[in-house]
Structure 1
């Protein structure tokens, strides 16, 4: 099966290496295990990312290029004893280009700090840098053990003289849900608690457009970022539980309440939250809110619910309220799958023959919601599957 970046799968380590900046030779791979997975030509192409400028030291970087996905932790040690007054190295792991690598970020950071300690105690990085020197053999032995242990056991214990390091990749979390172009990411964490200046460029560009109502496809358009990159970025945010996914908000949507609603209504925090989704600061009563929410059922669209009991008159912001209820699991969107069973070979009907939900048809076909609704209502050969 074809795999792509953002598919959520975790592959094995392909290699582990220590890159350094040599004061005469420039960027170089000091040690690598297994040997020669990344040759000199490919390393030279990627070296400016793997041995970067000082502004991006002491933080995890990931590079996906030329068939390699590499995560590392560039480390800069200033000291007048070194040529050019500093030592610069990067401990890196190499994965498949489709692999999820976020679980290795603490791993490479800890291993880099381990080598920093070895350098301060025994100058293992700065002295005897030749390929077959005693220090290089020690470094390669450490990398070999880490590589084999992590691929077979998912953990390792590294020792060198008096130094011991326990490493593991245990809490990988559940694999994020597949991110479709029609899905809507909703921020569920306060970004003020994160160092947003350390976010990658794609995250920085798309985050202002994650408003809880823009789909992945629309975010790609608004941010001028390729949609595959947006999908991968959103999947990473899902893994870190910064966002959750909801369906597109349309007044033609059909929702139904779930058994969880009654349980949630007993919680004061939930009741306070739903009352906060008001218009113009007027707090709607719990009775009006409950009455409005209970109107949702199979076969009744949001538009019809709003006609029966106007949320504006009750002071309810139905957009934000529904988004919140879907995230809480109190409302469930009924997905509709139009299926064409006629004989017309018109290309537009291809969207109705492959089991696409209406949200994805809107994104892929360019039809408006009104156009799609008319097509489904007026064509007797289109049947609607609800689930």
Structure 2
């Protein structure tokens, strides 16, 4: 059965192969024993011991059942019969697994074996020495067991020590759409030289109000460049993406709202961020009361009509942005779904009503007024809406 999460993939096998001067490509050792049959290895051996141009490059081979990750190495030295020695350390995982997080380990471990070979012919003599082969087998067994169980390994061989750690690689966030609004969740010093020129041009216009298309115009950069920059900031956890602020949006409190209530050190920060400028400060009690009123079934306009944020010195836009940036609230989005596929025709926008596009996205795609679109959906008996 295939793993549900392609990132949660144990190493199924580790093997070391080399080029024998008479037998050609050959498996030197593998853990577990006989995991790869001779026939299976022969079908991929040309990639395991490749041409010189591919030496010291990560190589990934995907077969029907497995994904093989290797780092072939060539050592040029006249002490070898062909004036060179070729070997490759390989990890084997499930064929649909993501293996990016194993690449640094394969490279580091291969370099470790390279040094052992240069110092003591560790690999080349393993083919004749039973003791050396047992030592190699023990090392590979330890690596596989420790990485699968603990995601780290300390390896000791011939007075050399190597530390291996599996570092989880974050998945790439989706490319921002033209109407997505980037919201800062951590401070960006856009004058800092660690940021590239594009980021320094884009960052001043990220205010939780401007959408990607508007930032493109303000920064005078191509929209694809701006989208790629913002995607990178999302990857760095500096920015999150939210919908355009509308009073028709629906927000609900998260479990983090309790942290705000208990952490009095955040009171002043919340008051400063949410109070309307140029007037008296809002009270924390009022701020927390309005936050608590955000629940499923109540649109933000309903909350505003009930509490009148202006009268209690609360800037409602800043209230929402502060809540989203700190995870105290999240947005529920409306996803229209056509009940019967036969109800979809060319003149009907039902192609968008598949449960995958939120109301705000459909509004932007079709250049329609979101409030009018919402009314049409509510009146149409062919459509139901899912909030999630």
TM-score (norm 2): 0.54
Report 1:90-169 matches (<5 A).
93-96=91-94, 98-101=96-99, 103-104=101-102, 107-108=105-106, 111-112=109-110, 114-115=112-113, 118=116, 121-122=119-120, 124=122, 132=127, 141=137, 144-145=140-141, 149=145, 158-163=155-160
Structure 1: gaps (5+ residues): 21-27, 53-61, 78-86
1:247-305 Cα offsets, whole Å, 9 max, x none, are 53441311133565354134234324334536997687242644654553444433555
Cα–Cα, structure 1 residues 330 and 166, in superposed 2: closer, same or farther, change >3 Å?
closer
- 1:379 maps to 380
TM-superposed CA distance for 1:346, in Å, is 1.7
Structure 2: gaps (5+ residues): 19-24, 31-35, 76-84, 217-221
- 2:338 maps to 340
- 1:362 maps to 362
Structure 1 SS opposite 2:343: coil
TM-score (norm 1): 0.54
Is 1:273 matched up with 2:279?
A: no
- 2:300 maps to 302
| Mapped contact 2:252–2:294 kept (Cα < 8 A) | yes
| Mapped contact 2:333–2:387 kept (Cα < 8 A) | yes
TM-superposed CA distance for 1:318, in Å, is 1.9
Structure 1 SS opposite 2:109: helix
Greater C-alpha radius of gyration: 2
TM-superposed CA distance for 1:327, in Å, is 5.0
Number of aligned residue pairs: 334
- 2:45 maps to 39
Counterparts of 1:197 and 1:65, CA distance in 2: 36
TM-superposed CA distance for 1:359, in Å, is 5.4
Counterparts of 1:31 and 1:282, CA distance in 2: 76
Counterparts of 2:51 and 2:322, CA distance in 1: 47
Once superposed, what is the RMSD of the aligned Cα atoms?
A: 6.3
Q: Which of the pair has the greater relative contact order for Cα pairs under 8 Å at 6+ separation?
A: 1
| Mapped contact 2:13–2:92 kept (Cα < 8 A) | yes
Structure 1 SS opposite 2:377: helix
